[in-house]
Amino acid sequence: MPTLTFVMPHWLYWAGLLFFPLIATWLVRRQMQKTTDARPSLFIAYLFWLTAGFLGIHRFYLRSAVGIVFIPVFLFILYCNAEVREVRDDTSRTFAALEQAQNAARIAKPEAGQATPESSAAYERAQADVKQRQSEFNVAQAVTDQWSSRGRWGAIVLAILLLIDAVLLPGLVRAVRKQEAAAPHRPVAEMIPPGVAAVAEPVLAEDPTLHFHSRVTDVIETINVKAGEFVAWWSLIAVFFYYYEVVARFVFNSPTNWVHESMFLMFGMQYMLSGAYAYREDQHVRVDVIYAKFSPRGKAIADIITSVFFFIFIITMLVTGYRFAADAVNAGEHSFTEWGIQYWVVKLAIPVGAALLLLQGVSKLIKDILFVARRGA
C-alpha cells in the first residue's frame, strides 16, 4: 500500500484559516439565493467521490446499490494494513537482533595473523548467529512484503473503480435527476410521522437586554457577530483535517505529525475570538439560581453591579495577553515540534479576543443602563 508523505505547509494553513470562511460564506449565500432543489447535485456527488468514494458513498448518494462493491475492497485494504502493523514489531525486533549479531561478529573477528582456536570458534559462532538472525529477519520481512503487496493490489482495484465512477458520475447524476423529476413529490407535512410534536425548549434566565438595541451597541455587536461567524467556520475545517488523519493512519499507514497540533491551535484561537460573540448571544455559562428569579429590570441592575468584576478580569487579560503576544512576536516564536508552526500568530488571538470581549462588555453595560433608565421600554 502506498504511503502519504504530505505535510501541511505553514502558508497553506494560515491561508486556509483566512480564506476558507470567506469562500464558505459566499457559497452558502449563493446557495440560499437559489430556488430549493432537493435533487442530487453533481458537485456533491464529486465531493463524496473525493472524500468518501472508497466506501462507495457517492453511489449511495445517487441511490445506487453498486456502492456495496466498494465496501469489501476497502475492508480488505484495512485488513492488510492491520496485518502489516501486527508484523511490524516482529520486523523491527528481528532487524535489531540482526544488527546486534552483525556487530558482535565484527568484534569477534580475529585480527590477521592473531587467530587462535578459541577466537576462531567464537567468530564461527558469531557468524552462525548472524545467519540465524538474518533468516528470522527475512521471514518477518517476507510476511510484511506479502501483506503490503496484497494491500497494494486492493488499492489498485479500488483506484480503478473510483476512476471509472469519476467518468460515469455526470451521466449517473443526470439519470437520477430525470427519474426524480418524473416522480410525484410529497408535501413536507406528509413526511412527518404522526404523533411527532415539537419539543419546547426549557425557559432559561435570559439576558433582558438580549433584543435591546441602540446605535452604539449595534455597531459593536455587528463587529463581534461577524468575528464569531467567521471563526465558526473553522469547526468545519477540523472535520476535513481529522478525516484526513484517520484515512492516512488506517488506510495508508501514514499517521501525520501536524493534524493534531494544527487543530488544537485552531480551536484555541477560535475559543478566544468567539468569546465576544458568545457573550452577545448570552451563551456563557453562569450560575443563575438567584438571577433567574429577578424581574427583567432587576436582572439588568444585577448585571450593572457585577460588571465591575467583568471589567477587572477582562482588562487584566487584555494587558497581560498583549505583553504575552508582544514577546512572542518579537521572538518570532514557533512550536518545538517537527512541524514548527508559528506560535506568535496564535498568541495574538489572546489580546484580540480580549479586546472584542471588552467591547461587548461595554455594549452590554450601555444596554443595561438604557434598559434600567427606560424601565425596560
User: Is 1 within a domain?
Assistant: no
Q: Are residues 220 and 158 in the same domain?
A: no
Does 156 share its domain with 289?
no
Residue 286 DSSP one-character state: -
Q: Which domain-ending residue is among 184, 203, 236?
A: 184
Do 174 and 219 belong together in one domain?
A: no
pLDDT of residue 75: 92
CA distance 364 to 240: 36
Enclosing domain of residue 98? 39-184
Query: Model pTM?
Result: 0.72
- Residue 239 belongs to some domain of the structure: yes
Low-confidence ranges of the chain (pLDDT < 50): 188, 199-203
Residue 31 has a pLDDT of 74
| C-alpha dist (Å) from residue 145 to 83, 151, 241, 267 | 11, 10, 30, 40
Q: Does residue 222 share a domain with residue 179?
A: no
* Total number of domains in the chain: 2
pLDDT reported for residue 188: 47
Nearby residues of 24 by Cβ (< 8 Å), 6 or more positions away: 233, 236
The pLDDT, as a whole number, for residue 203 is 47
pLDDT tens-place string over residues 38-58? 678 888 899 899 888 999 999
Contact of 98 with 133, CB cutoff 8 Å: yes
Domain shared by 224 and 173, yes or no: no
What's the confidence (pLDDT) of residue 192? 54
Let me know whether 253 and 344 are in one domain.
yes
Predicted pLDDT at 3? 75
Decide if 296 is inside a domain.
yes
Q: Is the dihedral of CA 75, 76, 78, 82 positive or negative?
A: positive
